[in-house]
Structure 1
């Protein structure tokens, strides 16, 4: 498909419920569970349980209203701020946070993370713990140097960027600019966690094809190094199921600390 026919998530928006159903649900025809659910949850559990990432404030940015990647983080961080770049996604998150009618059901993910932690009999407490940690949901403007403008956020001890850079960056230079904006949210010595996909050009959401920037692992490593990050942990997994809904080849997880 010609890039002119693809939509940009942060400009055109997306159908937030279709996005969750296609990529994060427990429906039988949802083929991405190994990549979008199990892989990041397993790696997040690992990095947060080892103890080398610590602090009080975590800022999470993502290209959709998902929360499964925050369960393990809420064991460490008492304050979590969520940055969204679509009002529909912010509304979807607020619906879940407020236990409103029609909220997306994340039971399958909270059960999975409790099993990872060996606490499968406390699933309700796990969700309540996460909800108590979330202090703000902010709809942001990617064009601003301060993504949360006009709010001024305190610098975070950890930033999780989940899939966002893949769908908002037009080219490699744009990726670098957006990565730097993510970095500017972080304290010196703090950790950036990047979750993304390589060799992708699009993902399908409802009737739309959403733009993805095509790049490889070496580009991500180089980009982080140029911005003063040192990689502490990296895991890469080949796409587990064939589907023409999205054309990525691998999903990756990188945790890096900011040296300058």
Structure 2
């Protein structure tokens, strides 16, 4: 009986080491605090110094924020992708099933944070931008709402998506052996919302579209936003690999629980 208990305790300890939710909690907390800071900044300075693009205060609070956002976004994605590639696992063929399972679960956590960032960018801030256009007369394409939405929240979820892709590519045998079409559609598709911003702003400059948000020039955001549905393809690939690692007995045990 003592031997059985010892084996059970050992199995429980190994399970705890495989399932580590600390990165997920940290990621969700960091993302939430960042979004809250953006929204508070906008609340404080959007209406007070954000309506006249010719005012010195607009340059101080909003154009400087725009410049910093562009530089930091480019630097962040280059640093993150470079770091993940530089620290890649060069001996994936020796990866144990337990460690691979743990890394697959880390990838799932990447995707959860990515999905949350997509919500803030493509839903919360994008809808807020629509409301801004319909309530405030703008004299520039770089309104406070546009700066936060297009040049901060969109690059943010793109950076997280690129990080998830490179993590999978450099640390998981299944994704390292080729290119996952679902993953490419997921990350590349939602990234294309950023180039679509230029097309969108050109339309706003050429035509009065501030109250016509069902116009064709806005369809690109919907089309590329729907690329996020490719996350289900990536999830199926992860679940398929987990089934291979766990085996039929492991899957049955999980279902029984």
Q: Normalising TM by the smaller chain, what interval?
A: under 0.3
Q: Tell me the TM-score normalised to structure 2 length.
A: 0.22
Query: Which structure would you say has the larger Rg?
Result: 2
Greater percentage in strand: 1
Greater percentage in helix: 2
